[in-house]
Structure 1
Amino acid sequence: MPPSDAIAFEATPRPVVSRGGTYPPAFELATHQHRRGQLLYASEGTVAITTPFGAWIAPPERAVWIPSGTPHAVRMIGAVNTRSVYIEPEVTGEAGQACRVIAVSPLLRALLVEAVLVPREYDVGGRDGLLMALLVEEVNRAPSVPLALPLPMDAGLAALSAAFLEHPSVAEGIDAWAAALGMHRRSFTRLFRRETGMSFARWRQQACLLAALPKLASGEPVTEVALDLGYESATSFSTMFRRALGKPPSDYRAA
């Protein structure tokens, strides 16, 4: 969307507006931000969102809430069709002021698909206005799912984290990170938890989980994904995956 069109879209005199998009595999949207809060849903494919505060990934049946004014970049995993809604801050309600991944119920999915067909300047008091109001209510009611990865702000930790995310492995140990920063193990664990709000082991597992989802979505075999991420077997990887997401990795693997 050209900049002038984007400005006009944001300025539409309606509390909620929607639009869809189609993107090729590996397409990236450079860092940008919106005046409105955005719910980004991929009706096909998977999207990965990065902000200064962390990373989020939305596989099928999930969407990412991005609060107004939050700088974010988007990477498409596979061919992606998006359905996004943009909500004025005063009617955001309980969606919150922090990024989160939410579960998309069948009703919310239907509303997101239908909202793209609604005229931009719809009748607020008519059927289209009711549809948009219900959509906002469903976004507020949607449960969060654990598909976030907080990123540290400390320069040393940030560099190690960025390198790890390039080649994540559950076998990588905390002592190597502490040694790289010239810190004792105990001091490192305190710093890491203060910076991320998570233990190193939990963060490492979450990073591997987020790395696994795009691989599975692209059709890679579960065993191959497990071994690439440092797991000793597909069974141990599948156990972690099911505990985290409630489903086996085969459910996320493309046919």
Structure 2
Amino acid sequence: MTRAGVGDDDGVDDGALRPATETRTIAIPVDQVDGECWPAHSHDDHELMWAVSGRLSVTTPEAHFAVPPGASIWIPAGVEHEVRAEAGCRLQCTWLARQADLPELRTTSVLVTPPLFDRVMEHLLVAALDPAERRRAEVFAVDLLRPSRTVDVDVPRPRTPALVAVADALARDPADRRTVQEWAAGCAVSTRTFTRAFQQETGRGFAAWRRDLRIRAAMQRLAAGEPPGAVARATGFSAQASFTTAFRETTGTTPAAFARAAARWTQAPERAS
């Protein structure tokens, strides 16, 4: 197996995760005891990243993504992204060479990969594969990947720098209880101007956007095995009942049912490392 470190000396900014140059399909285990953030960067190949344990988040110019344990995030080639691994996170990355146009994977997406994908990855990590074998396996591996609505909630990212700062602050701390009036004052605009701009840039009102952000963060914590009551408090809901209602309205299932499903993902055979 070929592994690359962090910030290889290849002209890329230090701290950006990069694949080795001699192969385009690799797996890199990275343990983040103290937590770490890799600034915005991009890759020439498609990237698949997942947290073996702990919490992992990815930010692109278009959206915030919280990746639950047992799920993966697909980042198409050329997409700029920032990666944040919280303390204790163990993540892995795999890069796949550019494939034919795949409508389902044109944008950054959260996935639940089937066990067969893990076996294909093990096959790809065999150094003796000739180029033709590797190409066939890569095409098959990508064909197994499909976005999963069961683990993803759309949280668009605004474009105006002041609103981006608000969105990024809430992504770091979904439980932040500042009111819309306080956020607007921090941006030095009226509440009406703030809410109108947020609606125009994200396609939804500020309250709805923040609820979806909290639900996405809650999915990540539930998948990590945290109890629903603790998850409700950690993500800013005033009571477990309101959390359950919001979660069901957004995802179509309850926090407890989601946690049971997530337990099945995390019990799947571990990906090649």
Bucket of the pairwise TM-score, normalised by the shorter protein: 0.7 to 0.9
From 160, 170, 173, give the equivalent of 1:164: 170
Check if 1:232 corresponds to 2:238. Answer: yes
Preserved contact between residue 92 and residue 136 of structure 1 (Cα < 8 Å): no
More displaced stretch, 53-62 vs 167-176: 167-176
5+ residue gaps, structure 1, are none
Show the counterpart of 1:241.
247
Quote the offset at 1:242 in angstroms.
4.0
Going from structure 1 to structure 2, the CA distance change for 1:100 and 1:203 (only over 3 Å counts) comes to same
Q: In structure 1, what residue type is equivalent to 2:115?
A: P
SS state of the match for residue 52, structure 1? coil
Check if 1:24 corresponds to 2:32. Answer: yes
Going from structure 1 to structure 2, the CA distance change for 1:129 and 1:228 (only over 3 Å counts) comes to closer
Preserved contact between residue 122 and residue 129 of structure 1 (Cα < 8 Å): no
5+ residue gaps, structure 2, are 11-16, 267-273
Show the counterpart of 1:183.
190
Q: In structure 1, what residue type is equivalent to 2:8?
A: P
* TM-score, normalised relative to structure 2: 0.72
Check if 1:3 corresponds to 2:29. Answer: no
Show the counterpart of 2:130.
123
| Coordinate RMSD, CA, aligned | 3.4
Quote the offset at 1:137 in angstroms.
0.7
Preserved contact between residue 44 and residue 82 of structure 1 (Cα < 8 Å): no
Check if 1:87 corresponds to 2:92. Answer: no
Structure showing the higher strand proportion among its residues: 1
What's the CA shift string for 1:45-76, capped at 9, x where partnerless? 44211233332121133211112222322222
More displaced stretch, 33-42 vs 68-77: 68-77
Aligned counterparts of 2:238 and 2:29: Cα–Cα separation in 1: 40
Going from structure 1 to structure 2, the CA distance change for 1:61 and 1:242 (only over 3 Å counts) comes to farther
* TM-score, normalised relative to structure 1: 0.76
Q: In structure 2, what residue type is equivalent to 1:241?
A: F
Show the counterpart of 2:115.
106
Check if 1:61 corresponds to 2:64. Answer: no
SS state of the match for residue 190, structure 1? helix
Show the counterpart of 2:211.
205
What's the CA shift string for 1:89-112, capped at 9, x where partnerless? x53533544222123233334434
Q: Percent identity?
A: 28
